[in-house]
Each structure stands twice: as structure tokens, then as C-alpha cells.
Structure 1
Amino acid sequence: MSKLYIVPTPIGNLKDISFRVLEVLQEADRIACEDTRVTSKLLNRYEIRKPLLSYREHNEMGVSEEILDKVESGETIALVSDAGMPGISDPGSVLVRKAIQRGIEVNVLPGPSALINALVSSGLDTSRFTFIGFLDKARKKKRDELLKYRNREETLILYEAPHRILDTLEAVQEVFGERKISLSRELTKLYEEHQRGTVQEVLETYKDRTPKGEFVLVVEGMSQEAQQLEKEELYAHLTVKEHLLQFIESGMSKKDAVKAVVELRGISKKEVYKESLDLE
């Protein structure tokens, strides 16, 4: 019976591959891949000989249909990326979406993912996180994208290329301020490295050297304390009574205005209620 497999591959060390992945690659009639040279290196290591089909970002719309036609005609096809899980900052999501639309079962194998290794290695909160992936290459758009995540409390994870990592670190510093970060490179390889500290501290390490390798940047989320301080700055010029009036004049009931001011300023309801007594 023909099948479509989404197959993760090692992110650096070719030994990081499961028995099941090897089994699927051996059984597949054809392997779709980003770069045939990279995939051939992996297959040769494990003495696997299969026809390869180029599946890249620029051709995935058309080739996805070709792959699914072959699955429907009886072939078992495995999709791999150069490193990690297909569909995560790599081609693959289009194929999965089209397969679902055509009623073709998608079999996703578990395996390596750089974002998880970097997150666990970071020492930052792992209970909740958001994977952003690659930011826009343009300087302004990059900073505009970061602004959307500025007030998020969970840990943030980004991918970046070596020639853009310094600008991305500077953008994080400009938009987020000084936060704890962890910058990982060459994951699972011989020269794996993790740099932890504030954004400025990590930037300092690149004053006299050129960034090399693919990077995963893990950024601390905005603390509740920092959010509270930021909120307080917005109404620091207002008295409690003026703050209440601002809400009431915007159409809010006095009861709701009292509740809002209590939550925003973090002061007692009794204190705010007292200031509201002579307000209409």
C-alpha cells in the first residue's frame, strides 16, 4: 500500500537518526528532498539507493502535485529536508496541505528539530514558547515583526543566518530592550556552541570575530513586572481620579472604570472607590 511520509533528518550529526527513519527510507520508492547533494550524503552513509526528486521552495507548488499523483498511482514517497523536520522553516507544509485536501494520509515521523535542542539548552522557560522562525530580511520589516512579539510573556525562538545574526540581535535589543537570550550554533556538530547572557553581552562576543554557522536565537519573554512598569508609565502623569475620569468619559460605567483602574494600577479597590465617590 502506497504512503506519504514526512521524514526528519539529522540537524548536524549523521548518527542522530532513528531505526524507523532508516526503515522508511529503505522502503520508499522515491525520496523527495531539498538538495540532492545533501540527501545523497546521508543516504550513502547508510547505503541506501533510491531515486531522488528535487522539492524546493521555488517549485513546491507544482512538485507537490507530482508527488501526490505518484502516491495515488501506488508509490511510497518520503519527503526529507536538508536538516530537521520538513515544514518547519523548510519546504513541506504545501505538500501536507495538498495531501489533506486530496484525502491522502500523511505519516509524520518524530525526529530532530533545532528549535527544541536550542530551547532546552537555553536555560530559559520551556513551559510555553512561540516559534517565530526567520524574520524578514529587510531592516525595517524585521523590527516591525518583532514589535508584534514585544509584550509576549512566553519564550521566543528565532532562526537566523550568519550574515544577518548581528543585525537581528541589534533589532531585538532595540525593540525588546535588554533581555536574557541564548544563541546556539552548529547544533549536534563538533563545534556546537551556546552563548547565554543579555543581548549586549552576546553582541560583545562578536566584536572581534565573524559569525559562522546557522543560528537559533532563544529570547526571554517579557516579565509580568516589566509589563506592569510599562503600563504604569502610560498613566504616571494621571491621578487616580483623572484615570477614572478618562475611562468614564470614554463611555465606561463608573463600576467598570473602578475595576479597570484597580487592575491597571495594582492598588486597592477601597482606595480607587473612595476617589470615585464624587464622580458622575
Structure 2
Amino acid sequence: MVNPISHNNKLKKGLYLIPTPIGNLADITLRAIELLKNSDFILCEDTRVSKKLLDKLMIKTKLISYHKFNEVKNLNKIIDLLKDNKIVSLISDAGTPSISDPGAILINKCLQYNINVIPLPGPSAVTTAVSISGFSEKYLFYGFFPEKEKKIKEELDKLSNLNFCFVFFVSPKKINKIIPHLKNYFDDRKILICREISKYYEEFIRSNLNELELFKNEPKGELTLVISEKIIDKKKSLFLSESDKRDIKIMINKLSLREITDFISQKSNIPKKEIYNYCLRLKNEK
């Protein structure tokens, strides 16, 4: 066991970022347990959720509510505690703090006052999902999608040009709204949908994106999506024929770029992105 106590048998003063289990409660580290026991205060999103974990671990440290709706309001109070050399730990409901969770504002404030910020390794839905995906180890983590549909399209349009894996978080209520957008922008890629990671009913759904169907019933538990890097089909031609180009020129002022792309891709064995980019260049020349 690696003891978190420093050389002079005292914990280093500052803010500790402590990952908590994303499902199975046994996934918490020994070091995390030791630090939570020796903290003066624990900042948590939902005291009811955190209390269940801490009760199981027999940890009686005082909890302070810290979530996205009160993080600015409580900021000065927490900084005062840290300035007073209190040991404060930050946890989220599940996983690593400040990853798609509150924390960044507090961390930056600590850095501004030269307060120690000490991260612990531990459970993360991101790395767990990527590790089982079988896709490229080069990935970009995005997190949750924007609320507005227009913004979702803008973001996916930019991302679809990058040849990396992508990791997204999606709530069960929004997954069927997101799937059509993913199929539209990443139709030539594969997808892994992870549900209830490390819990008894954990599920891993694998599919080609162009074959992915909507959920018939709303799934339980937040979902972690991993989109593969671009799948290169060696049988596909990467170049438009002169006939295709003539057809596009005829349609360019009559149909949308997306409609032209869909039409040409149905009769030609060419990636949609190549067709779309040609249409875009042609449109800009006019």
C-alpha cells in the first residue's frame, strides 16, 4: 500500500481531487479511502449520494455541498478553509472530479493563491470505455453535447473532419435525439455504447454507425459513447468520376449540399465526406 502521508508524517495541505467509483463500490483505491478519512472537509455534488459511499467506508468527515449551481457562491468559503491549512477533498457523484463535473473554477482559484492541488488516479468512464473499444488509442474526449440542436450540428461537423476516436457522455433521455446526428456525420465509423459500466447490468453495444438503431425503450444509466477513427474501405474509390461531377453541377443550385451528397453516395462507391467537400468547393467558387 502506498501511504499518502508525507515524509514528516503529515498530509500535504491543499485540495485533493479524489475519484470515486463509477459503479462498483469496490473500485475505490486504498489511497483514496485513506485521504477521505484524513480530510477536514469533503466537497461533493450530492450529499445524499456521497453519504452512501462514505457510510459504507465508515468515513465520518464533514461534507460540504459543491455543485454547478453553488460553486461560485461557495468559492470564497472553500478558499478560506484552504488558506487556513485545512485538508479539503473534492469528489463527484461518480468518477474523476472536474471531468464534465464542477471543479475547474475552484482549481483555478487555488492556483491563483498558490494553494496545492493534488490529483489522485482512479475510476474514469472515459478511459474504461476506450480501453474496451478496440479502436485507436488516439482519442479526443468531448463530454456532454450542447443543448441546442444547431450547436450540436456545428460541433459534429468540425469533429467529423478529424481522424481520431471520440468519447461522448449522453444522458438516457437524449440518446435517441443524438443517434441520427451521429449517423449523419460519422456514418463510415463504428460505435461502442457503454451503459452502467462496472455495475451488475453493465452493457456494451457495438455497431457500425450506419446500422445503429434507436433505443426502443429509454435505457437506464448515463451512457458513454466511443466513436472509432475513420474506417478506410480499400474498395471505395476516393475520387469523383467526371459523370458524378457533372451531376453535382446540375444539382448544386437546386438541392442542399446534404441532399446532393446523399444522392451521389447512393450511386457511387465514394465516401460522403469527399462528395460533400467537392460540393462545398464548387459552391464557394460561385
Query: Shorter-normalised TM-score: what interval?
Result: 0.7 to 0.9
**Rounded Cα–Cα distance in structure 2 between residues aligned with 1:162 and 1:113:** 19
Alignment check: 8 A CA contact 2:187 2:210 kept: no
> How many angstroms apart in 1 are the aligned matches of 2:102 and 2:49?
15
1:108 & 1:12 partners in 2: Cα distance?
20
Residue pair 1:2, 1:74 contacting (<8 A) in 2 also? yes
Aligned residues: 234
1:32 to 37, 43, 50: 43
Selected match of 2:191 from 181, 193, 196: 181
Q: Which residue of 2 aligns with 1:222?
A: 230
> Aligned ranges for residues 189-268 of structure 1 at < 5 Å?
189-203=199-213, 206=215, 208-223=216-231, 232-233=239-240, 237=245
For residues 162 and 72 of structure 1, do their structure 2 counterparts lie closer, same or farther at Cα, with a shift above 3 Å needed? same
Secondary structure, aligned partner of 1:130: strand
Which residue of the other structure, out of 128, 139, 142, is the alignment partner of 1:117?
Answer: 128
Mapping of 1:54-69 within 5 angstroms?
Answer: 54-69=65-80
Return the offset for 1:120.
Answer: 1.1
CA distance in 2, matches of 1:51, 1:4: 15
Equivalent-residue separation in structure 1 for 2:205 and 2:178 (angstroms): 15
Contact 2:20 2:122 in 1 (8 A): yes
- Determine helix, strand or coil for the equivalent of 1:61: coil
Higher-Rg structure is 1
**Matched residues in 1 for 2:98 and 2:127: separation?**
15
Retained in 2: the 8 A contact 1:86–1:92? yes
Residue number in structure 1 paired with 2:23: 12
Change (3 A) 1:66 1:209: same
Give the letter aligned to residue 210 of structure 1. E
Q: Does the CA contact (< 8 Å) of 1:26 and 1:48 recur in 2? A: yes
Q: CA deviation at 1:61?
A: 2.0
Name whichever of 174-183 and 156-165 sits farther off.
174-183
> 5 Å matches for 1:116-195?
116-126=127-137, 128-195=138-205
SS of the equivalent of 1:15 reads helix
Query: Aligned AA for 1:212?
Result: K
Question: Unaligned stretches of 5+ in structure 2?
Answer: 1-11, 247-286
Aligned-pair Cα RMSD in Å: 2.3
CA distance in 1, matches of 2:218, 2:33: 37
C-alpha separation between the residues in 2 aligned to 1:124 and 1:2? Answer: 40
**Matched position secondary structure for 1:124:** coil
Q: Please tell me whether the aligned partners of residues 86 and 93 of structure 1 are also in contact (alpha carbons under 8 angstroms).
A: no
CA contact (8 A) 2:95 2:122 kept: yes
Shift of 1:122: 1.4
Q: CA deviation at 1:218?
A: 0.4
* Cα distance in 2 for residues equivalent to 1:167 and 1:94: 30
Q: Within 1, Cα distance between the matches of 2:245 and 2:152?
A: 33
Pick from 77, 80, 84 the counterpart of residue 73 of structure 1.
84
Determine helix, strand or coil for the equivalent of 1:53.
Answer: strand
* Structure 2 residue matching 1:31: 3-state secondary structure: strand
Deviation at 1:200, TM superposition (A): 4.2
Q: Which runs of 4+ in 1 moved over 3 A?
A: 223-226, 232-238
Give 1 or 2: higher helix fraction: 1
Identity score, percent: 37
